[in-house]
Amino acid sequence: MAMEIAKSLGKFSLGMGDRFAQQGRAQLAACLRAREAGVEVTPVWNKSHREHSIVGSVPAGVRREADAAVAALGWTRAYFVDADHIRLETVDAFLEASDFFTIDVADSIGRPPDEASLAAFCADAGDCGGGFGLTRESVRRIAARYLAAVQEAARIYRRIEAARGRGAFITEVSMDETDSPQTPDELLVILAALAREGVPVDTIAPKFTGRFNKGVDYVGDVAQFEREFESDIAAIRVAEERYGLPAGLKLSVHSGSDKFSLYPAIRRVLAKTGAGVHVKTAGTTWLEELIGLAEAGGAGLELAKEIYAGAFEHREELCAPYAAVIDIDPAKLPAPAAVASWDSQRFVAALRHDPACPGFNADLRQLLHVGYKIAAKMGGRYLALVRACEETVSRNVTANLFDRHIRPLWLD
């Protein structure tokens, strides 16, 4: 008997990051357009502790933004506020405002579990049904690597459950911010262990093969990704039936925005298997704000250039927290003095993620992606111009989510 959740995430859901909490309506408008086009996409506003501390914002602000957008646009379906990548030491600040929790236990992968709990798990799990090439020996080897992480997830889950109540929130477990990808057999053992620890996981974010850099396309073997993605879904189906995990348990793809070369593969597998998916975008809405500012010209363009100059100057400090998820070639970054002479069109072409456009500069885009701290420091001056340029900003925010993400993933 599967555990039930009070509110359903639905088959398709989209994690939307919004550094400055200004684009709630513009993002939700993309989900409305999806509905009009015939597909239900549940909006999830996600923001991590890392982002909050860099921007100086609090989880309650994300809740206010989401509620206000929903009220303004008359959204009647489910929506969620995701405490993204939280740990035991950061979860408390999110307990009131969030109803979706991404429990990040990547740091506990590889930590040896205590012998007694490893033995107890192995005695129960056996060969986990023997699919995916699993044997008692390989289950034990996988459990030795992941059981401590699962137990950490259970500790965090119980803290959330005590505060929010059972079944009143979505539970995601993430293991993506680590070095080596998890294979489907590992995923099945991890899910078996989560079920045994009483974690009713709704979405799981493994690390997939290849590179998922922030705000740019996938780098890796798409065919291999497609085989792995399909096998992961098969592992999830087995776990759902065998271990009574919530019906509709699905994969969550982190840094899922802008992975244009993967979307056809994801779409094929979803069509073939009937599975759902959660795609978490990587805070690229902030880049659409910059594009909107640049497109508006005048003071907007000048501010976008000023932010680039600031990001260029502080690039080492800005890149450090994101080192594992960006690849910037400093030699390909234009000098701020050169950018100073650019017109709107040239700035927008460099920043907007259109790989076919000769003016596109992936290095500049990645630097600006992590450069939001520069805008955060500008405070009211930045926000005032974003609001003044609302027309061009919101048009870009909505079009980015709908045309470049929702359509290739779920509609075209």
Nearest to 203 by CA among 282, 273, 104, 283: 104
Nearest to 129 by CA among 116, 138, 118, 141: 138
DSSP 26-49: HHHHHHHHHHHHT---EEEEEEEH
Sign, CA torsion 284/289/294/296: positive
Residue type, 359: G
Output 142 or 279, the one with its CB closest to Zn ion. Answer: 279
**Bridge-based pairing state of the strands 100-104 and 203-205:** unpaired
Nearest to 19 by CA among 402, 335, 282: 282
Output 212 or 410, the one with its CB closest to Zn ion. Answer: 212
Nearest to 193 by CA among 153, 158, 223, 163: 153
- Which segments of 298-404 are extended strands (E)? none
Output 145 or 254, the one with its CB closest to Zn ion. Answer: 254
Output 42 or 46, the one with its CB closest to Zn ion. Answer: 46
Output 71 or 88, the one with its CB closest to Zn ion. Answer: 88
What's the burial of 315, exposed, middle or buried (CB within 10 Å: 0-12/13-18/19+)? middle
For residue 105 the two structure tokens come to: 């236990």
CB of 178 to Zn ion, least distance (A): 10
199: left (phi over 0), alpha (psi -120 to 50) or beta: beta
CB of 288 to Zn ion, least distance (A): 20
CB of 35 to Zn ion, least distance (A): 27
CB of 36 to Zn ion, least distance (A): 30
Output 175 or 376, the one with its CB closest to Zn ion. Answer: 175
CB of 282 to Zn ion, least distance (A): 8
CB of 354 to Zn ion, least distance (A): 25
Task: Write the CB contacts of 7 (distance below 8 Å, at least 6 apart in sequence).
Answer: 78, 80, 99, 170
Report the residue number whose CB is nearest to Zn ion.
Answer: 254
Output 320 or 335, the one with its CB closest to Zn ion. Answer: 320
**Chain residues in the site for Zn ion (CB under 5 A):** 176, 254
CB of 254 to Zn ion, least distance (A): 3
- What angle is formed at CA 407 by the lines to CA 401 and CA 412, rounded to 5 degrees? 170
CB of 30 to Zn ion, least distance (A): 21
CB of 384 to Zn ion, least distance (A): 32
CB of 95 to Zn ion, least distance (A): 20
Output 120 or 324, the one with its CB closest to Zn ion. Answer: 324
- Which segments of 187-247 are extended strands (E)? 203-205
What's the burial of 370, exposed, middle or buried (CB within 10 Å: 0-12/13-18/19+)? buried
Nearest to 33 by CA among 393, 410, 287, 391: 410
How far apart CA 242 and CA 238 sit, in angstroms, is: 6
Write the DSSP symbol of residue 224.
H
Output 174 or 394, the one with its CB closest to Zn ion. Answer: 174
How far apart CA 289 and CA 307 sit, in angstroms, is: 12
The answer to whether 204 and 172 are in contact (CB under 8 A) is yes
Output 347 or 372, the one with its CB closest to Zn ion. Answer: 372
Output 266 or 351, the one with its CB closest to Zn ion. Answer: 266
CB of 107 to Zn ion, least distance (A): 13
